[in-house]
Structure 1
């Protein structure tokens, strides 16, 4: 169904809103409860009063049997001019669906370090807010350097994330990823990896990471809800070690098994 969004909508004029991106297979959104929990919490955090049932209903209208990427956007709606509206309008909810392909799984990842920092002190650093210009500029830097994505550091020079993913480091049986206070998003697949890792014999550690930690790791990978796990092969043109391929494969298979159990299909086998 196609509908118009007002040019006065604050999501359009001010980036006043939040969003979520998820994978759907067989008409089932993988990790649906976690995705919607995070989206609703983000809306509350910026003061948007929206009913979860309205979001659920909008998501349901976008689900089909085809494998797809579901993006759900919630804005503060239309309101009179001014940064903080005296009388905010009804929230706008938009759900879009685009085809997804299993070819997105397992692609290697080349990173360059962005010059644009992530402000870990910002009140929206842990939210998927609509104002994504910093990440857009970082993605432009990556493209200009022939890389797939950019590694974003926070204002302290520590690892925050990539433009679209969380970052993990494997070293001597220890799995490390930046804690949320470093400015990264609470990724849904990030949480799943942290949940699944101990059963594979890995010690999990949410700890600050420096760029040098990536160069000295046994393996580095990035996670998000559309691509699951991508091994980082290079950083700033330097080849990173690949000494934990078996562990990465175990993590990848555990994620695929979780998706198959929830959605009824192995993501690798969908058409």
Structure 2
């Protein structure tokens, strides 16, 4: 792979998408492309006209047996990588453990709302949390409101209704988050940490894990089984991900 050291690889001015593969086919590629183009437009970067052909050639050569493809775009580079999907091989889905991060999301920064190469803060926070036995750290913004995880969006359930923090709280609008908002009635509302225990269930989402139940968030415990509403949402997602994305605009 030949890379040009442009502003993407020197200053982080590039965009990427991480997409699940099923039978060597990217899941909801249209939705990922729409988000990718939105970020590239903001950065002033043009996506090559033949990028999908280049992706298909790469997957035909390297994608067999892989569960993830990552697309990276900067001013002078278009590159792909593949790897296994760690969530697909979990023996069960017993639920993740979450904890609050000491890092605050800066809701005034435009980078918070785009999936760019400026991702170091999230990765370092996740590594630090893993050392403490935490599956996913959750960030508050400067106002003390819940936003998102290091690599996930955050959801709660109360009385069979879905709740999630609003984008303006300072979070990346995820693809599975968008899917749930199209498929179900989801209330976007400001949520603060002391409200966590008032909810019946909790789960997190991203394009690789899909929908992951949460069994503990700080000191609060939640049910995590196939019999929960979260379990039903996950089973529906497994079917829906093989169909066209409901609305990727």
Q: Normalising to structure 1: TM-score of the pair?
A: 0.81
Matched, 1:59 2:55: yes
User: Would you say how many aligned residue pairs link Structure 1 and Structure 2?
Assistant: 239
Aligned partners of 1:218 and 1:243 also within 8 Å: no
- Which residue, out of 17, 21, 31, partners 1:34? 31
- The equivalent residue for 1:103 is 89
Aligned partners of 2:214 and 2:222 also within 8 Å: no
Name which of structure 1's ranges 219-228 and 186-195 shifts more when overlaid on structure 2: 186-195
Q: How does 1:13-52 map to 2 (within 5 A)?
A: 13-51=10-48
- The equivalent residue for 2:73 is 74
Q: How does 1:72-151 map to 2 (within 5 A)?
A: 72-76=71-75, 91-100=76-85, 102-104=88-90, 106=93, 108-151=95-138
Distance 2:161 2:77 in 1: 43
Instruction: Mark the structure with the bigger radius of gyration.
Output: 1
- Which residue, out of 4, 9, 12, partners 2:9? 12
How big is each residue's C-alpha offset from its partner over 1:162-208, in whole Å with a ceiling of 9 and x where there is no partner? 0000000101122111111111111111111122224xxxxx20111
- 3-state SS of 1:192 partner: helix
Cα 1:243–1:216 shift into 2, 3 Å: farther
Distance 1:215 1:71 in 2: 36
Aligned partners of 1:62 and 1:97 also within 8 Å: no
- The equivalent residue for 1:269 is none
Cα 1:9–1:243 shift into 2, 3 Å: closer
Distance 2:51 2:147 in 1: 29
Aligned partners of 1:113 and 1:151 also within 8 Å: yes
Name which of structure 1's ranges 170-179 and 160-169 shifts more when overlaid on structure 2: 170-179
- 3-state SS of 2:115 partner: coil
Matched, 1:172 2:159: yes
Aligned partners of 1:18 and 1:39 also within 8 Å: yes
Aligned partners of 1:58 and 1:93 also within 8 Å: no
Aligned partners of 2:215 and 2:224 also within 8 Å: no
After TM superposition, give the deviation of residue 122 of structure 1 in Å. 0.7
- The equivalent residue for 1:268 is none
Aligned partners of 1:106 and 1:227 also within 8 Å: no
How big is each residue's C-alpha offset from its partner over 1:61-85, in whole Å with a ceiling of 9 and x where there is no partner? 2323434201001112xxxxxxxxx
Superposed CA RMSD = 2.1
How big is each residue's C-alpha offset from its partner over 1:80-136, in whole Å with a ceiling of 9 and x where there is no partner? xxxxxxxxxxx3111111123522473521112111111111112110011112212
Structure 2 unaligned spans of 5+: 245-249
Name which of structure 1's ranges 106-115 and 147-156 shifts more when overlaid on structure 2: 106-115
